[in-house]
Every structure is written in C-alpha cells, then in structure tokens.
Amino acid sequence: MNEQSGPREVTFQDFIFMMSTSALVGLGHVPNPVTNKYETDLESVRQTISLLTMIQQKTKGNLTSDEDDMLERLLHELRMGYITKAKEGPTESPAEEEEKEERPGRIILP
C-alpha cells in the first residue's frame, strides 16, 4: 500500500535558489515567466544581491558548510553578472531597435 506524503518541506537552499532565480531573470539569463522575454532589470538584481547579502550576514554561524558555500558561490556569480551587465550599459531588444527606426525623428527648436 502506497502512503501519500505531504508537501516537501522547503529548505534554506530552496529559498536561496528561488531568490536567485529572480536575479537571473533580471540579468537576462532566464526569460521573464510573465512575458516569456529576456529582459534586464539591474535594479531588481541589485536588490536581490543586497537581500542575499543581508541573509548571509544574519545567518552567519548558523548554516551548514554546504549552505554557506552555496550562498557564497551564488552571491559571487550574481555580483559578477551584475558588474558585467552594468558595464555593457543599456541595451535594447531587436524589436525596440526596429521600432525606433520606424519612428520619425523629432526636431526640437529652441
């Protein structure tokens, strides 16, 4: 006879991965689940990095070595991704570039 077990307990690592997924969406590494488009939102990435850093500081000494290592590696990867994207500067999707080309230029007179 098969016993059905309840929902699986969410672990600390699950929680950290859920938070990091939003940063990966903001870096444009994963499509936005709502729009299904690759988008960049560096402000949300910065906020997620700040939150994960705060969690790291507040949980110092209370994590297993695996949890601590995972959080440290993840923060490093997100910070490097943020720096790389920030150096690239603002980018536009091909659709935005086409739309810009179709719009007539405006001349602003003094």
> Half-sphere exposure of residue 11, counting CA atoms within 13 Å on the CB side?
9
- Tens-digit pLDDT profile for residues 66-106: 999 999 999 999 999 999 999 987 655 544 444 444 444 44
Tell whether pTM > 0.75: no
Residue 41 CA to residue 31 CA, distance in Å, equals 12
- Tens-digit pLDDT profile for residues 39-75: 999 999 999 999 999 999 999 999 999 999 999 999 9
